[in-house]
Amino acid sequence: FDYHLLDCDAGLVQTDALTVDLPATLQLLASFFPFKTSLIQQLVTQLIDWDCCAVIADIAPLGIKAARAAGLPSVLIENFTWDWIYKSYVRYYPEITEHADYLASIFCTPDLHLQCQPVCRPTSSAVPTAPVSRRYSETSETIRDQLRLQSGRKLVLISMGGTPHELPCLEELGRCWGDIDFL
């Protein structure tokens, strides 16, 4: 496999892990969608030059669009899609509807659609799959030792997907649920 860096997904503009800047998101979406024909053609040329046989897209619509233009099969892997996310903001920012509709028109076109559980919006045309994960490399005992946690205590991992964010509630959780460690 080769990796090539390319902004292929707009997503949401966030000021931190929990705060979305919708006006900035709308500006980004307006500059991103619809995809420029020249960008799609550049990707088609690259896919052909690299002798690709398929395109796999993890919720990034650009790959699906480029695959279709190149005459290649595409695979969409997701447990949510951006149109679904954007639809939740329609009542506050109705102009996001056009972007959600544009993406929905792309997300319904892959040759194979895999939905990893848990799924936000199950689709009858998709193939449900177990969560995508990798095997752990350390035992739970080793990890507890590294984190200086007592063996046998319940542990709750609170993750913001790798995005830095302060969680002032951790101390409160520890006081309320003294028999559980929160990380």
124-163, pLDDT tens digit by residue? 999 999 988 888 888 888 988 998 888 888 888 887 777 6
27-73, pLDDT tens digit by residue? 999 999 999 999 999 999 999 999 999 999 999 999 999 999 999 99
pLDDT at 132: 80
pTM: predicted TM-score of the whole model, two decimal places: 0.81
Cβ(170)–Cβ(182) below 8 Å? yes
pLDDT at 134: 81
Cα 128 → chain centroid: 17
* Helix residue ranges per DSSP H, 50-180: 61-70, 82-87, 97-107, 140-146, 169-176
9-20, pLDDT tens digit by residue? 899 998 887 889
pLDDT at 178: 79
pLDDT at 183: 81
- Reference 6, options 29, 40, 30, 34; nearest CA is 40
Compute the average pLDDT of residues 99-105.
97
pLDDT at 166: 73
